[in-house]
Amino acid sequence: MKNSKLTLIILILFFFSGLASLIYEVIWARKLGLVFGTTSYAISTILAVFMAGLALGSFLFGRVVDKLKEPKNFLFLIGLLGIGEGTYAIFTPSIFKLIEKLQLILVGEFTSPLNLNLLRFSLSFLALILPTTLCGGTLPVLSKFLIRLKEEVGKKFALL
């Protein structure tokens, strides 16, 4: 396959990965709005988790991708990240039901509003850190793969 066709495929995959991440954010904001009872805490939580997950994913998968040699391994890893994100999306409704149940069980232990919001934040953080880490892994994997193609590296990386 020519490098230009492969680059186009990768850019399209990256676009849809980013689009899926934005859709996740909107869905999570609605779901967490029900958990917190207000959207301001929900959106703050999502932004915090998303930034942490993007950083963690970039760090972890950046180290993994440095060890890859073959182009097919890059594509395999990109596929695994996408499958992981998609699988998590399937289980998202169940995960949020679990958060609501855990909150109801533990709410008696946390009488102050601050402690209750910390509980909600912690449960939400734990539930969302995995998919956001997977989302964060796509950029280092794709950028290293494009750099390995060695054809107009700067232009291709700028497209990401």
**What is 92-128 written as a DSSP string?**
HHHHHHHHHHHHHHHGGG--SHHHHHHHHHHHHHHHH
Tens place of pLDDT for every residue, the chain, 160 residues? 566 787 787 788 788 888 888 898 888 888 888 888 888 888 999 999 999 999 999 999 999 998 888 878 888 898 899 899 889 989 988 998 998 888 888 877 777 888 888 988 999 999 999 999 999 998 888 888 877 766 566 666 666 6
In angstroms, rounded to a whole number, what is the distance separating the alpha carbons of residues 57 and 46?
Answer: 16
Domain ranges of the chain: 31-148
Q: Alpha-carbon dihedral of residues 145, 148, 150, 154, nearest 10 degrees?
A: 50
